[in-house]
Structure 1
């Protein structure tokens, strides 16, 4: 049997919505949009709610809202950057790791409704969950407050990252790309990433990856996805090869 937003309202206390609104700095005209943005599919699965009552549809919209807002701000802020530079910078701002970091900055994971399994596996703090929830939140803001308000809100969320990019003269470099350039600059073969282990439940796996250079393990890392573990391993390897590890 399907559900409605009234069902979501009954399981997500208004006090939680008010607390998050306080963190965000504004109130929703339609609080049910904010409540919907906080419901993970796992909660629906465990409580007999229709999957459409999770934040996934909002996440779909939020992805587009975020990309447009970031693209607009970059176009305005970097008038001399070409298309390739703008695209690279945008990618660094909308990637999962950056969005998860922003979500942690507003403690978004603490407000999410998740299933018992996801909660037990600390899934609400995984990059993939936080990034998706942030996109859902942005869609809710867009539907409730409109385009211009949302653009300004998103700009405020990424202001620190934009300032860092301006100061560094460009977006932060991908650690795997940086490691590959470092290794090839020394005349060595490209790094090899080896999956060492995959532990935990399906909804909250933890991957461990080692990276090898010239037949030697020079770094290891963990993450909720293989790509995250590889990036973590690459960061360690960069420090080791730079003499800082």
Structure 2
């Protein structure tokens, strides 16, 4: 079969264009749909991203690599890539999904992206697949925080910093709560005994306020942590 020159942002010449057609067909449109390709693509995306992180972060431990991979391959990270490739406009959906805006739904877009990755792999092999797919993740990889921070919120990092130095854990206290039920504001303090530090955070939820207070404490203790 003659290779098909790409006219879209996927930029892969499919020797078997039927693979791409199947990858972009949701189960609501009937068989053959993309669920089997999605299954294969999920593993391929995990492998491609894991290998790239392994090379990029030679000193990172398994935990940091695992958290970074999870950040990069979760649904909310894959869907924007699918949008950048304009997959939504090319999806084949059943009438119900089409009417409900399925072509804009994160879950459907992320699944389609994984299916497209599998289609490229089956069409051209792993090396060609990796060469095409890895650049899609470069911007997100470059935006990752340092390995010791990735996937960890401020409260977790503050606790680890203190425990690593055998210091007492911080205490969080609600200082005030204001506003209507639909627009609450919480002000929270974070107190550390050794070294003596007290910070505050204010946000629309108590949890978010605690995170801000912990982040402020970390900036005082160790701006690079």
Q: How does 1:114-153 map to 2 (within 5 A)?
A: 114-153=93-132
8 Å CA contact retained: 1:20, 1:111: no
Q: Aligned match of 2:204 in 199, 218, 222? A: 218
Describe the superposition over 1:202-230 as per-residue Cα deviations: whole angstroms up to 9, x where unpaired.
xxxxxxxx99969xx926xxxxxxxxxxx
Per the TM alignment, residue 23 of structure 1 is displaced from its structure 2 partner at its CA by 1.4
Q: Sort the Cα spacing of 1:84 and 1:105 in 2 relative to 1 into closer, same or farther, 3 A.
A: same
Q: How does 1:190-229 map to 2 (within 5 A)?
A: 218=204
Check if 1:28 corresponds to 2:28: no
Q: Secondary structure at the match of 2:58?
A: coil
Describe the superposition over 1:28-82 as per-residue Cα deviations: whole angstroms up to 9, x where unpaired.
01000000001001111xxxxx4xx110000000011111111111111111111
Report what 1:8 is aligned to: none
Runs in 1 of length 4+ with deviation above 3 angstroms? 18-21, 170-174, 177-182, 210-214
Report what 2:219 is aligned to: none
Report what 1:64 is aligned to: 43
Report what 2:146 is aligned to: 169
Report what 1:157 is aligned to: 136
8 Å CA contact retained: 2:67, 2:150: no
Q: Secondary structure at the match of 1:159?
A: helix
Check if 1:86 corresponds to 2:71: no
8 Å CA contact retained: 2:5, 2:14: no
Greater helix proportion: 1
Matches of 2:82 and 2:126, distance apart in 1: 20
Q: Secondary structure at the match of 2:204?
A: strand
Q: Sort the Cα spacing of 1:67 and 1:36 in 2 relative to 1 into closer, same or farther, 3 A.
A: same
Unaligned runs of 5+ in 2: 159-168, 175-182, 188-202, 214-225
RMSD (Å), alpha carbons? 3.6
Q: Aligned match of 2:53 in 56, 74, 79? A: 74
Q: State the TM-score, normalizing by the size of structure 2.
A: 0.67
Structure 1 stretch displaced more, 117-126 or 137-146: 117-126
Q: Secondary structure at the match of 2:13?
A: coil
Aligned residues: 179
Q: Which has the larger radius of gyration?
A: 2
